[in-house]
Amino acid sequence: MKIKPEIRDRILNAARELVAEGVETPTNDQVREKMGKGSLTHISPVMREWKEQRKTEIAAALEMPAELKRVVETSLAQIWTAASKLANAGIEKLREDAQSKIDTAEQELVEALSEVSRLEAEIESLKSKSLECEQKGEVVEKQLSKLTTENSALHARVDDRSIQVENLKSELKEARADNKALQKELIAIAKGKNSKSKNN
């Protein structure tokens, strides 16, 4: 089909504008929409030719001299080493911080549980004394109420520390997973670059 030069130019201009806007591979419908109107019977063959020509241009642009390839490979190795060190240092610092917080929270939890046990024993002792000393019931009742309140507060503290320990363990687990994912990405990038270098 003979396509007028002005129509061909409009189609190609629309395709180039779409690429400039970030559309890597414009479709025929996108080109028609960019033009505002047009026939797919005109757009389709022009776009086929343009895409083939663009592939050739991109392939030519991607070719690089052997010396540049060596520089890229050396740089990639250096980047990989630096990124690995940073990733490992970051996860190790995060692990140490999280473990320190976990240890502190667990220690506080042990202390709180010990205090709970002590208070509960004291409550039981006071209950026993209150039965023996009814005349001092009011005083004992106040002490019992106070200790019961303290016990409730410590129970709440224990629950809070338990939640904090679990959250810190979860954060540590996520950090380890993030580190593994980062290392996999770096390996994939390195393999991709090496594969591209071999193909070229």
Residue 4's pLDDT band (cuts 50, 70, 90):
confident
Residue 30's pLDDT band (cuts 50, 70, 90):
very high
Q: Are the CB atoms for 130 and 140 separated by under 8 Å?
A: yes
Q: First-to-last CA distance in the chain?
A: 38
Comparing 186 with 63, the larger pLDDT belongs to: 186
Rounded mean pLDDT, 169-192 = 86
In this predicted structure, the answer to whether residue 90 has a pLDDT above a threshold of 90 is no
How many other C-beta atoms are found inside a 10 Å radius of the C-beta of residue 171? 16
Comparing 80 with 104, the larger pLDDT belongs to: 104
Q: Are the CB atoms for 181 and 189 separated by under 8 Å?
A: no
Residue 48's pLDDT band (cuts 50, 70, 90):
very high
pTM: 0.33
Annotated domain spans of the chain: 5-62, 66-199
The pLDDT value given to residue 29: 93
Is domain 66-199 in CATH 1.10.287, yes or no? yes
* Best CA proximity match to 143, nearest among 162, 125, 163: 125
Residue 9's pLDDT band (cuts 50, 70, 90):
very high
- pLDDT over 90, % of the chain: 14
